Amino acid sequence: MQQETAGVLRPKGKASVPHTADDIEALMLRSMFWRPTYLALSAWVEHVPFAFWLTEAARPACVVELGTHYGTSYFAFCQAVERLGINSRCFAVDTWKGDEHASIYGEEVFAQVHEHNQAQYSSFSRLVRSTFDEALPHFPDASIDLLHMDGLHTYEAVKHDFESWLPKLSSRAVVVMHDSNVRERGFGVFKFFAELAQRYPHFESAHGHGLGVVGVGAEQTPLMRALYQAGSQPDQSRRVQETFARLGQACAEGLNVRSLQQRLGEQQHMFKREQDESIEQQALSRGALAERITAEVQRNAGLLADYEGMRQQFLQAEAAQAQAQSRLVILEEQSQQLLNEKGELAASLAVQQALYAQEQQRTEQLNGQIQALERQRSEESSNTTESLALLHAQLAESRAARVALETHLVAQTSQLGQLTQAQSELQTRLSQAQAEAAEFSAARDAAQDEVALLRGTLAEQRTRLGALEQQLAAEQSRATELQDAYEAACAENAASQQMIDTLRRINADLHRAWETAGEERIGLQDAADARLAESHRSSAERDAARIECTRLEGALGCAEAQVVDLQTSLDARFGEVAQLIAQLEARAADLQEARLQLAREKQKAARLRRSAAWRLTAPLRWLLGFLDRAPDTALETNIALIRASGLFDEAWYARQLSSTPTGGLEPIAHYLKQGAAKGLSPSSEFDTTAYLARYADVASSGLNPLVHYIRHGRAEGRLTF
């Protein structure tokens, strides 16, 4: 089929190649093993080594990418152009708004791509923010050497983009189509690529959602023709695909490790922040518990004082009751005695009354006799004078006796009245004593009830106090466990970081060895070709050249064996990286569980913030915060000491912290607080790990190794390595 831009007829698959079809090693280039400087989450990550190779093989003067998104593919082309020193112009065409296949995204994506482009490739790269059709008029016909199509992936859209941009392609143009191995969600790249494969030489990789390469221009470079030739041979195509798939998998694993490291760092930072908040909340909780315990103790002390006062009142009431009982007994005895005296007086009064009645009767009899005698006197005045005198004498005696009896009776009556009055007073006092005894008894019963109530309340408060003490002990134990878990996680993370650094160094060594082997292989092949060319000049030199060629082939075989060994070692390292990723994921799960635990603690802390205890302790928290903000004079002294020693290289130390968050600390402060514990060295002149391993006394002392060396070790002649 005739290609419009080339202007010549070029049947598919007729291009000549510089090497035999079996010579896959001819496709090996150093750029395949470069380390990418920019990676973003994308299926294109697995094709970055091929993008490096393609740029070196095609050496395009103009690169256009339709659909850039995060820029993984575009910046891979830019990195290759810059590193190879190709005089090229690169253009990325995209709206940076997304579509139904790439999804809709925000302005932050373009900002990220623009920032990286301006910082790294602005001298030859430009971002064109428009639709593909709108950008067409800005490119001359037959000007584009490398076109990467990664826009909307429907069959109609891909066909439209290809046909629209076809006049813009040069006579050596290469077209790259991503997602050629995706057949779901309406993707149609695979279908259109199959149509192009019937018209142009091509090559396709199935990994990373598939990547199709089409040699649209008639003037393809030798390496591109070799690639298309390998793609037409199933066995060779499989070997080439496996090579680029392994290299792409290494990039994907590197991105995964970097992403996991970033996530781990973020989770560590979040965990540290949440742990600090949890520790603060636990401290506040413990403070609140301590305050509650103090309040309960004070309340219990008040209850004990009340209990003691009630007990004293109860004892006083019992003593008063005993006194009242004693007085009551005495009054009852006195009352009984008065009753006995009253009975005796009543009996004596009855006798006296009987005598008085007898005397009164006798007086009446004597008065009758006197009257009779007076009547007889009138009759017998002369004869009865003596008898009358006698009767008068008897009457006077009787009157005197009656007066004496009346006097005695009045005295007895008065004494009886006095006794009656004393008995009434005693009865009143007895009633009062009985009333007081009843009151004392009621007060004693009430005091006993109150004492029992106080004893119950005191027992309840002691139980609550014990529960609060147990809760405080549990909170302290939980805080200790969280602290231990955090320290263990930090230790494991440090070990994981060291393992990752080791794997990175090993991986870099493998890449360098692979690049060296590739260079040696290319040099050996060139030397073999040169020797073979010289062998045609003379038969004498042919044998020597054949021997030299045999030697070179042997060397090439050794190099190939080394490459196989390196590939095997690289596969083993990939396995180790996969295990490390699994460990990191397990640690991430543990950190997630710890974060949930901290969330529960934060809920408790939130309830505490709403409590009255939180408001009451605000001045104390302010005072503690003020004390915490006080300058650390020891740290400042050590910083000044290290800075003056000349043994700390901040730029050298900062390179060790390229992927580690510093928490806003300056390098020397970071080394004093964290770096030495992680085994980081302050400069190339002092090895922290070696110094601690060599001098056990320094390791056991807990001092910073560099500070120890400056203060003591230098004068003692200790080594820094």
CA distance 598 to 485: 12
Lowest-confidence segment of 66-70, 219-223, 459-463 by average pLDDT: 459-463
Residue 305 lies inside a defined structural domain of this protein: yes
Nearest to 493, CA basis, from 671, 674, 668, 700: 674
Residue matched to tokens 């080339």: 6
Whether residue 174 is found in the same domain as residue 293: no
Judge contact between 54 and 262, C-beta under 8 A: no
Average pLDDT over residues 252-256: 76
Answer yes or no: is pLDDT of 2 > 90.
no
Residue matched to tokens 């083993």: 572
Judge contact between 196 and 188, C-beta under 8 A: no
Whether residue 181 is found in the same domain as residue 282: no
Average pLDDT over residues 534-547: 57
Distances (CA, A) of 427 to 335, 345, 349, 415, 721: 7, 19, 23, 18, 112
Distances (CA, A) of 322 to 242, 313, 330, 352, 436: 111, 14, 12, 44, 11
Tell me, what's the pLDDT at 22?
44
Residue 602 lies inside a defined structural domain of this protein: no
Whether residue 154 is found in the same domain as residue 197: yes
Answer yes or no: is pLDDT of 87 > 90.
yes
Judge contact between 49 and 255, C-beta under 8 A: no
Total structural domains within the chain: 3
Residue 559 lies inside a defined structural domain of this protein: no
Compute φ and ψ for 87, nearest 5 degrees: -80, 90
Answer yes or no: is pLDDT of 15 > 90.
no
Answer yes or no: is pLDDT of 543 > 70.
no
List Cβ<8 Å contacts ≥24 apart for 468-474. 468/289, 468/292, 468/293, 468/296, 469/293, 471/289, 472/286, 472/289, 472/290, 472/293
Sign of torsion over alpha carbons 189, 191, 194, 199 = negative
Whether residue 170 is found in the same domain as residue 293: no
Residue ending a domain, among 449, 465, 484, is: 484
Across 50-64, 333-347, 416-430, 523-537, which has the greatest mean pLDDT? 50-64
Lowest-confidence segment of 254-263, 350-359, 482-491 by average pLDDT: 482-491
Cβ atoms within 10 Å, residue 134:
12
| Residues contacting residue 359 through CB under 8 Å, at least 6 positions apart | 398, 401, 402, 405
Whether residue 300 is found in the same domain as residue 420: yes
Quote the percentage of the chain above a pLDDT of 90: 18
Judge contact between 151 and 161, C-beta under 8 A: yes
DSSP secondary structure code for residue 137 in this structure: G
Answer yes or no: is pLDDT of 299 > 90.
no
> For residue 123, what pLDDT band results from cuts at 50, 70 and 90?
very high
Whether residue 226 is found in the same domain as residue 271: no
Average pLDDT over residues 546-564: 65
CA distance 73 to 55: 12
Nearest to 105, CA basis, from 59, 60, 53, 67: 67
Residue ending a domain, among 427, 462, 484, is: 484
- CATH at 459: 1.10.287.950
Tell me, what's the pLDDT at 162?
94
| Residue 508 vs residue 213, higher pLDDT | 213
> For residue 98, what pLDDT band results from cuts at 50, 70 and 90?
low
Taking only the tens place, the pLDDT of each residue in 198-228 is 999 999 988 888 999 999 999 999 999 999 9
Judge contact between 668 and 643, C-beta under 8 A: yes
Lowest-confidence segment of 68-72, 168-172, 343-347 by average pLDDT: 343-347
Q: Hey, what are 388's tokens?
A: 């009358």
Distances (CA, A) of 615 to 58, 531, 611: 73, 91, 7
Angle CA(551)–CA(556)–CA(560) in degrees, nearest 5? 150
| Residue 440 vs residue 141, higher pLDDT | 141
CA distance 332 to 348: 24
Q: Hey, what are 583's tokens?
A: 């460990």
Whether residue 226 is found in the same domain as residue 344: no
Residue 556 lies inside a defined structural domain of this protein: no
Tell me, what's the pLDDT at 630?
46
| Residue 432 vs residue 517, higher pLDDT | 432
Across 158-172, 266-280, 675-689, 694-708, which has the greatest mean pLDDT? 158-172
Torsion of CA 669, 673, 674, 676, to 10 degrees: 90
DSSP secondary structure code for residue 9 in this structure: B
Judge contact between 95 and 261, C-beta under 8 A: no
Answer yes or no: is pLDDT of 53 > 90.
yes
Tell me, what's the pLDDT at 311?
73
Residue 600 lies inside a defined structural domain of this protein: no
Tell me, what's the pLDDT at 1?
31
Global pTM value: 0.43
CA distance 695 to 705: 10
Answer yes or no: is pLDDT of 9 > 60.
no
Whether residue 3 is found in the same domain as residue 123: yes
Tell me, what's the pLDDT at 5?
33
Sign of torsion over alpha carbons 534, 540, 545, 550 = positive
Tell me, what's the pLDDT at 475?
64
- CATH at 185: 3.40.50.150
Average pLDDT over residues 251-272: 74
Lowest-confidence segment of 283-287, 396-400, 561-565 by average pLDDT: 561-565
Residue 545 lies inside a defined structural domain of this protein: no
Answer yes or no: is pLDDT of 609 > 50.
yes
Tell me, what's the pLDDT at 91?
96
In what order do the strands lie in the sheet containing 169-178?
125-129, 89-94, 62-66, 144-149, 169-178, 211-214, 202-205
Answer yes or no: is pLDDT of 392 > 50.
yes
CA distance 338 to 347: 14
CA distance 459 to 470: 17
DSSP secondary structure code for residue 47 in this structure: G
Lowest-confidence segment of 16-20, 266-270, 353-357, 421-425 by average pLDDT: 16-20
CA distance 404 to 416: 18
Judge contact between 328 and 439, C-beta under 8 A: no
Average pLDDT over residues 625-633: 52
Answer yes or no: is pLDDT of 506 > 80.
no
Residue ending a domain, among 454, 484, 514, is: 484
Whether residue 195 is found in the same domain as residue 290: no
Tell me, what's the pLDDT at 52?
93
Tell me, what's the pLDDT at 417?
76
CA distance 484 to 490: 10
Answer yes or no: is pLDDT of 196 > 90.
yes
Nearest to 676, CA basis, from 696, 658, 656: 656
Domain range holding 26? 1-232
Average pLDDT over residues 86-94: 94
Name residue 119's amino acid.
A
Residue 549 lies inside a defined structural domain of this protein: no
Residue 32 lies inside a defined structural domain of this protein: yes
Answer yes or no: is pLDDT of 168 > 60.
yes
Mean pLDDT of the chain: 76
> For residue 57, what pLDDT band results from cuts at 50, 70 and 90?
very high
Average pLDDT over residues 66-83: 91
Whether residue 275 is found in the same domain as residue 224: no
Residue matched to tokens 């009446």: 364
Nearest to 176, CA basis, from 208, 143, 215: 215
Tell me, what's the pLDDT at 17?
39
Tell me, what's the pLDDT at 621?
61
Tell me, what's the pLDDT at 368?
80
Q: Hey, what are 34's tokens?
A: 């470069």
Whether residue 272 is found in the same domain as residue 189: no
Distances (CA, A) of 695 to 40, 232, 363, 642, 645: 45, 65, 144, 20, 21
Whether residue 376 is found in the same domain as residue 284: yes
Answer yes or no: is pLDDT of 348 > 50.
yes
> For residue 146, what pLDDT band results from cuts at 50, 70 and 90?
very high
CA distance 709 to 691: 9
Torsion of CA 154, 155, 157, 162, to 10 degrees: 140
Q: Which residues pair with 703 in a beta bridge?
A: none
| Burial per residue of 576-601, b for 16 or more beta-carbon CB atoms within 10 angstroms, e otherwise | ebeebbeebeebeebbeebbebbeeb
- Tell me the pairing of strands 103-104 and 211-214: unpaired
Average pLDDT over residues 706-718: 90
